[in-house]
Amino acid sequence: MFSKKLKSGLCLAVYSCVSIAADGEAGAVNPPAKPVDSKTIELDEIQVKAKRRRIITPLPGLPIERETATTNIQSATGKEIADSKATNVTEFLNGNMQSVTVTDYAGNPFQQDLNFRGFTASPQIGTPQGISVYLDGVRINEPFGEVVNWDLIPMNAISTLNIIPGSNPMFGHNTIGGALAITTKDGFSDHFMRAQYLAGDWGREQVQFSNGIHGERFALFTAYSHFKEDGWRVNSPSNVRQLFNKATVRLDSGEINFTALHVNAALLGNGLLPKEMAAYDREQVFTSPDEAKNSLEHYNLGGTWYVSDRVSISGQIYRRKVAQDAIGADVYPGYKRLYSNWQDVGQNDANGDGIDEVVGAMNGLLNYSSLRSTADGASVQATFDGDKHQVAVGAAYDENEIKFLQSQVLAELDADHIARLTTNPFFADNGYGGQTSLPGIIRNNLTGTSQTKALFMSDTYSPIDTLHITYGARLSWSNVKNYLIADRGLDMYQFQNNVLTNPARQRCRIGNSGDPLARFICTTGDYDYRSFNPSLGLSWEAQENLTAYGNVSKGSRVPSVIELGCARDKEGENQSDNVQYGCTIPTALTADPYLKQVRSTAYETGLRGRIADFDWNIGAFLTDLKDDILFVPLGRKNRGVFDNFGKTRREGIEMGLKGVWGNSTINFNYTWMRATFQSSAQLINDANSSNTSATDGQAYVNISPGDELPGMPNHIVQANWNYRFTPAFDATLSMIAHASSYVRGNENNAHQPRAALMVGTRDIYDFTGPGSIPGYAVFNFRANYRFDNGVSLFARVDNIFDKEYATAGNLGRNPFAANGAFKFDPVTIDGDWKNSTFISPGAPRAAWFGLNIDWGWDKVKKSKAVQELAD
């Protein structure tokens, strides 16, 4: 709020000096067209409410400027996102934001892991989650495993995107590495029609449409997107439909918004591929199908009441329902035992029944899962914008309900590695009935709930115009409940002798009752968590274009429903010598003992400023975690438990430069980062050549302090150069470069390739691959030609030099030859299977072309006040 004596010949009002552009930013406009008498006229004092600045908190109402921020906040507008032609959020961030990398364990463009400063937001259960993602103030990390489904975020509805590092108390107690805050468009700020059609390689087609309309009080905005492609690898199609609608009502002293988002998606990912197979043909698939069908209903009712020029109150209520049905194919790890059991009962070729051929085909598994998740919540926030204080206080309540069912069935892997159900009657005749028909063998039936209540506050105190001190805190109470009926872990070959039909085998073992017949373990968990997370930061505008900043914050993360459902049962381990006891992620659970919540302490300091037409920054960060929750492998593919790990650390230096030089716009980012274990630990992985099986009989992998976390490169570079040849034609060359990183399973960083050790005619301990993926640099290109009528043509070429690279990896057992043929030895069964480094191959060169209709970015509609003054 400010007042000023105004004279003609100057700006007659603040409204004639600024306007609101389509993306919500302030921008200069031409002075009034009509000449004004130069005679000095003294007007009455006019009080004008200043435009509120960009909001980066979950709820509207707290304005934060770049100059007062005590961390390195990175932002992007909807226009920048649209101009990038990025398919999804992870692709945009990977090419444009400091300290960001993307790893692709699933093999689908919408199922990638987003890594920021060594923390991850991933759609994959079993990945430690450390980043909160908000959409218009609603936290969209799904409650089952804190996962983020990137296919459920509509790109053409995004107005602004902000990455806020550290454990900011405004963004919830599960924000230990940072927060990604996304706001959407409305019909007032985006009242134009936009449409885009893209087509090209891999059968990719994308149609996007959005439009906004408004009157004096009411506005509507709608955005629709349909993306489909066949994928560049075998059997890897994607199909995503998104519909976003927002209605906005503006009142004299406030605003009300209602948002509805509906999404349907079917995503097939190929996952990782053994290094030998990738060298032979990168388009191969290890096993298939691996499909997730997601559907979303998301509703959000929110509003802001401007109580006065300095005080506002914001609030919202929401409901979010997610349904996911998934099917995952795997090589059957108990294949050898299955074959041996049939041999023991005389089922072999010696009696001429041909069963060896049947057994030779039963080398696969199909895992089915059904997840239903409902999230409800409400929050309220009051803000005060004073001369020296910017204060926000609020409260939030969130509750979630989970239902999860998982089953398995034996399958045959065909020549294309597609797992198919068998119709051979042999399995039903020999006690394996039910495995050849859905739903198969029920492994887990989990229901769970979680509730969180929170109080939070933040204050930015500016004792002088150039010094800003920000402090805040969040107090949270959480409760997580589970009820789990879990299979005791019987392998598929053990389902003989009417295990599935004997009533005595259908009992639950309660606790450590030791019931020898009970097939299921039934457990109940009810755990409470409390946390108090403060933060303190300072920013000092040392000069007009130089700011120094620093921040320290504490955060916490409560174990999710699935992490408690698959927690390591140390008490149970003491009563059993079965070291393989655990669960298969993401499709099986076990007992749910207590896990501690993760505790984080984050430090950050740096400088930012402006030289000529370039903005720059350089800063250092360090985050220590205590009781980090990690998925601990137990020696079999995807099998393991969640457990509290002692300490981990993420530290690094990041810098950026962005600006305009002549006809060029340049953006350059560099990050040096190390993510390390800070405590000793033991994992189990017989595919790691440094395991201890040769000395103590168990394949322990010993982790030492200083060993690096997998999937986190030490060096990250992003560079973008846009050149405008003419006002109508421009082109952009971009580069993404990552240093080498260790693969999962090589947490001790000690795996090395090792030649076969021959025992008779059998080779054992044959390890191929280095246990890491090499560094790489990928160059991309896009060009755009605009016609005068708002129509433009564009081209996009990814990986223009057709670089062969990988973004992620794992150590595992490979039963296939390089050409994909399944290795079967009737004597040793798996004697020539290799311990291999699996990789996620990066996509080859591809090109797309498109048509864009954009009737809005360069058009500014003057406010009514400006029109009246101009007239």
Torsion of CA 581, 582, 584, 587, to 10 degrees: 120
d(CA 251, CA 265): 37
Mean pLDDT taken over the chain = 81
Q: Is the pLDDT of residue 743 over 90?
A: yes
The pLDDT value given to residue 307: 94
> Which DSSP letter does residue 286 get?
S
Q: What percentage of residues in the chain have a pLDDT greater than 90?
A: 52
The pLDDT value given to residue 593: 52
As a whole number, mean pLDDT of residues 619-642 equals 75
Q: Which residues lie closer than 8 Å to 431 by C-beta, 6 or more apart?
A: 495, 496, 497, 498, 499
Nearest CA-CA partner of 554 in 532, 539, 574: 532
CB-CB contact of 601 with 456 (8 Å):
no
CB-CB contact of 290 with 269 (8 Å):
yes
The label of the residue with tokens 């755990």 reads 527
Q: Which residues lie closer than 8 Å to 22 by C-beta, 6 or more apart?
A: 79, 189, 190, 192, 856, 857, 859, 860
Helix/strand/coil (H/E/C) assignment for every residue in 786-850: ECCCCEEEEEEEECCCCCCCEEEEEEEEECECCCCCECCECCCECCCCEEEEEEEECCCCEEEEE
d(CA 326, CA 715): 35
The pLDDT value given to residue 733: 98
Angle at 25 between CA 22 and CA 29, to 5 degrees: 80
Nearest CA-CA partner of 492 in 445, 429, 427, 444: 427
Rg (CA), the chain: 29
Range in 397-411, 548-562, 639-653 with the lowest mean pLDDT: 639-653
The pLDDT value given to residue 553: 94
d(CA 717, CA 361): 47
Strands 639-661 and 583-584: antiparallel
DSSP E strands, 311-362: 311-331
Range in 27-31, 136-140, 345-349, 548-552 with the lowest mean pLDDT: 27-31
The pLDDT value given to residue 865: 42
At 430, is the pLDDT very low, low, confident or very high (cuts 50, 70, 90)?
low
820 or 26: which leads in pLDDT: 820
173 or 116: which leads in pLDDT: 116
The label of the residue with tokens 């108090």 reads 532
DSSP, collapsed to helix, strand or coil, labels residue 505 as helix
d(CA 115, CA 101): 5
pLDDT in tens, 291-307: 999 999 999 999 999 99
Tell me how crowded residue 204 is: count the other CB atoms within 10 A of its CB.
Answer: 19
pLDDT in tens, 531-580: 999 999 999 999 989 999 999 999 998 887 777 766 665 554 444 333 33
d(CA 847, CA 798): 6
- Residue 19: which H helix or E strand, with range? strand 19-20
The pLDDT value given to residue 222: 98
832 or 717: which leads in pLDDT: 717
Q: Which residues lie closer than 8 Å to 553 by C-beta, 6 or more apart?
A: 166, 167, 168, 169, 533, 534, 535, 536, 537, 601, 602
Q: Is the pLDDT of residue 835 over 50?
A: yes
pLDDT in tens, 595-611: 788 889 999 999 999 99
Q: Is the pLDDT of residue 23 over 60?
A: no
d(CA 159, CA 551): 28
> Could you tell me which residues are beta bridge partners of residue 384?
311, 391
The pLDDT value given to residue 511: 58
The pLDDT value given to residue 270: 81
Q: Is the pLDDT of residue 638 over 80?
A: no
Angle at 609 between CA 603 and CA 613, to 5 degrees: 145
Q: How is 425-479 classified by DSSP, letter by letter? A: THHHHTT-TTTTSTT-EEEEEEEEEEEEEEEEEEEEEEEETTEEEEEEEEEEEEE
Domains of the chain from N-terminus onward: 66-331+362-870 (2.40.170.20)
Q: How far apart are the first and last CA of the chain?
A: 26
27 or 597: which leads in pLDDT: 597
Strands 715-724 and 729-738: antiparallel
Q: How is 223-250 classified by DSSP, letter by letter? A: EEEEEEE--SSTT--EEEEEEEEEEEEE
pLDDT in tens, 448-492: 899 999 999 999 999 999 999 999 999 999 998 888 887 776 777
At 105, is the pLDDT very low, low, confident or very high (cuts 50, 70, 90)?
confident
The pLDDT value given to residue 425: 64
CB-CB contact of 368 with 440 (8 Å):
yes
Strands 639-661 and 205-214: unpaired
d(CA 719, CA 656): 10
DSSP, collapsed to helix, strand or coil, labels residue 524 as strand
- Residue 869: which H helix or E strand, with range? helix 864-870
Q: Is the pLDDT of residue 871 over 50?
A: no
pLDDT in tens, 61-74: 555 566 788 999 99
